Structure 1
Amino acid sequence: MFYEAYGSVCELATQVLLAGNLNLIEKGEWGTLKRDITEIERMLKALIKSLENKPLNSGTLGALDPLLQLNWRRTLFFLSVFVTNIVSYCLKFRNPI
């Protein structure tokens, strides 16, 4: 579950990089997106590392202690907000008002 989320972030980073290289994203916006992706990557890596160092009885979120649950939910929230912003930006770019 966590590695899939990290893989999705890496795919998104590649797409943003390509869009920046093709000048489909403004330089200022590209820097903001890159910074946000880096922050989400950092949070996911930290969460994965903390879970690898802690034995769990099951792979479900319920087996995690409350702090890890909070960190995981926070990471998912930031990832979902970030993806929503990317989609909104792309739709605005493709269909200017």
Structure 2
Amino acid sequence: MIIWQKAMDLGEATNLLAETFPKKEIYNLSSQIRRAGDSIALNISEGSILQSDPEFRKFLGYAIRSTAEVVTCLHKAKRRNYFNESTFELHYTNCFDLINMSIAFRNRLNPKK
């Protein structure tokens, strides 16, 4: 699935970005953005093995919420001046695109199966 591939890429990019945060964030924002970034692909994967579309829809919802969590972490990091505007825009755009793709995919699944 393309959304899973994009989620995997986002998780890796988020992990690399967190490496640039100050050491004081290792147990706070760095950890949070890493866990949220990894959670996206993990939830898509877990939902995809289920036998019912309603259950898959539920896990896609978790993935969407995790992506929104990454966006919030990006905003917090930007406010703390951990990276420049172009870095923020790159990661924000990737999250925005993944959220929209995930919502569109979830909407195509049959909720009554």
Report what 1:44 is aligned to: 44
- C-alpha displacement of 1:48: 3.8
Report what 1:62 is aligned to: none
Aligned-residue RMSD, C-alpha: 2.7
Which is higher, the Rg of structure 1 or of structure 2? 1
TM-aligned CA distance change 1:46 to 1:86, over 3 Å: closer
Query: For the Cα contact (< 8 Å) 1:43–1:75, is it kept in 2?
Result: yes
TM-aligned CA distance change 1:93 to 1:40, over 3 Å: closer
Report what 1:4 is aligned to: 2
- C-alpha displacement of 1:43: 3.9
Using the aligned pairs only, state the percent identity: 12
Q: With CA pairs under 8 Å and 6+ residues apart, which has the higher RCO, 1 or 2?
A: 2
Size of the alignment, in residue pairs? 78
TM-score (norm 1): 0.58
User: Where does structure 2 lack aligned partners over 5 or more consecutive residues?
Assistant: 81-113
